[in-house]
Amino acid sequence: MTHGFSLGRRLEQREERGLRRHLNPAESVAGRTRLADDPGGGTADFGEPELVFAANNYLGLADDGRVQRAAETAARSIGTGAGASRLVTGDTTLHRALERDLADSKGTERALVFSSGYAANVGVIDALDPDVVFSDELNHASIVDGCRIGADETVVYDHCDPADLARRMDARSGDADSESWLVLTDSVFSMDGDRAPLSDICDAAERHGAWVMVDEAHATGVVGADGGGVVQAQGVSDRIDVQLGTLSKALAAQGGYVAGAETLIEFLLNEARTFVFSTGLAPPAAGAAREALRIAREGTRRERLWENVERLRDGLEAAGFEVLGDTHILPVVVGHRDDAMALATAVRDRGIVAPAIRPPTVPAGRSRLRIAPMATHDEAAIDRCLDAFERAGTECGLL
Ligand code: PMP
């Protein structure tokens, strides 16, 4: 009789199924040189640093001097850690200033920052305690986990399909008048690079008096007239009840946020357990995010990113690749998982880091490489990426 855990065996099973994950250290977030003990590394020998087309640091601000100085100033003047939950002694004027800026950017009354976007999703869904959630089938894992913890019932609707959402809502109406319903969607989907049709989703939700919560993790700072996200771009901010996102992608820091009405935020700071029982956001992260938000709203970085996106998308399509979506995330569909792995290795041998995304993350036969350009890639970097994809695609028999 044994009551332990066979962790070694479980790791072996992952290995056998090709699902073993590895950490992959680099010396900085800007670029990487291949490390001798890198378990994910290829075999080629080249002198140039690798170009990362795999980060969510979309605006390239994670090593920007202005953002670094803002983090440093916060660390020196306030401290390296908040030292306690915001509700105890961890609240600072910097947190409040960041929240004011986020609310201003999102067009809401107020905002609240969490220790991560993951914690924000789980905390908000759990605190709202909905009777039924309607969730896009491709929503992020932190939304899925929020539903597991916080929702009485989860109805999954077809990806970006408001008609399917409406049908599923209609099918449940009738004797459900007193139930609280929450519609949940990412705004930009990380693996498909597409955006949710928010206006039609709101139409369906409003017919049933349901709330809508949108996760703008990949869109904040990147999409919209001043980087306010897809909600801003589609002009629906007054129809979205909860706007949520992360400070860890375009905003180059760490942490999550929720933006919405004053009552929502007051409620969450009382009842969201991942806020109440977790240490306040570290001041350097708050300082960095605030400066990155200012730079993102100012626009130059965003424009550079979109120029890169266009050049890369056009070039990949001209080479004969199928590129999904209509955002700054460019998923190149390859098909079989082995072909995706071969292409990822072949582009990496040419100094380009772009990960293969395979089942179960994406459906079988739709394995892909996820390419994420950054605002800091210059034209030469984009062209090097295109050249690597063309040569590697030909070498792998995919073009
Ligand atoms: N939502 C989405 C859509 C995400 O992609 C992520 C991060 N991968 C998160 C939430 C979680 O954010 P964080 O990394 O700040 O925990």
Q: Enumerate domains of the chain plus CATH numbers.
A: 22-52+300-395 (3.90.1150.10), 65-298 (3.40.640.10)
Q: What is the pLDDT along the chain (399 residues), one digit of tens a residue?
A: 789 999 999 999 999 988 888 887 777 776 555 444 444 444 444 456 789 999 999 999 999 999 999 999 999 999 999 999 999 999 999 999 999 999 999 999 999 999 999 999 999 999 999 999 999 999 999 999 999 999 999 999 999 999 999 999 999 887 667 899 999 999 999 999 999 999 999 999 999 999 999 999 999 999 999 999 999 999 999 999 999 999 999 999 999 999 999 999 999 999 999 999 999 999 999 999 999 999 999 999 999 999 999 999 999 999 999 999 999 999 999 999 999 999 999 999 999 999 999 998 899 999 999 999 999 999 999 999 999 999 999 999 999
Residue 2's pLDDT is what? Answer: 81
Question: Could you tell me the two tokens for 349?
Answer: 């041998």
Residue 42's pLDDT is what? Answer: 46
Question: Which residue of the set 95, 208, 218, 377 is catalytic?
Answer: 218
328 annotated active-site: no
Distance CA 35, CA 22 (A): 14
What is the Cα 338 distance to its own chain's centre?
A: 26
248 annotated active-site: no
Residue 184's pLDDT is what? Answer: 98
Could you tell me the distance, in angstroms and rounded to a whole number, from the CA of residue 398 to the centre of ligand 1?
32
User: What one-character DSSP code corresponds to residue 280?
Assistant: P
Distance CA 41, CA 39 (A): 6
Pocket test for ligand 1, best of 57, 102, 142 (most atoms within 8 A of CB): 142
Residue 47's pLDDT is what? Answer: 53
Distance CA 342, CA 330 (A): 18
Residue 20's pLDDT is what? Answer: 87
Residue 26's pLDDT is what? Answer: 73
Residue 48's pLDDT is what? Answer: 64
3-state percent helix, strand, coil for the chain, nearest multiple of 5: 45, 15, 40
274 lines ligand 1 (CB under 6 A): no
Q: Are strands 330-335 and 51-52 parallel, antiparallel or unpaired?
A: unpaired
What Cα–Cα distance (Å) separates residue 223 from each residue in 135, 174, 187, 217, 369?
A: 22, 38, 10, 11, 22
Distance CA 391, CA 394 (A): 5
Could you tell me the distance, in angstroms and rounded to a whole number, from the CA of residue 279 to the centre of ligand 1?
19
Distance CA 53, CA 387 (A): 14
Could you tell me the distance, in angstroms and rounded to a whole number, from the CA of residue 390 to the centre of ligand 1?
31
256 lines ligand 1 (CB under 6 A): yes
Residue 173's pLDDT is what? Answer: 81
Distance CA 337, CA 331 (A): 14
Residue 24's pLDDT is what? Answer: 73
Residue 49's pLDDT is what? Answer: 75
Closest atom of ligand 1 relative to the 119 alpha carbon: 16
Closest atom of ligand 1 relative to the 189 alpha carbon: 3
146 lines ligand 1 (CB under 6 A): no
Residue 123's pLDDT is what? Answer: 98
Question: Which residue of the set 106, 249, 328, 377 is catalytic?
Answer: 249
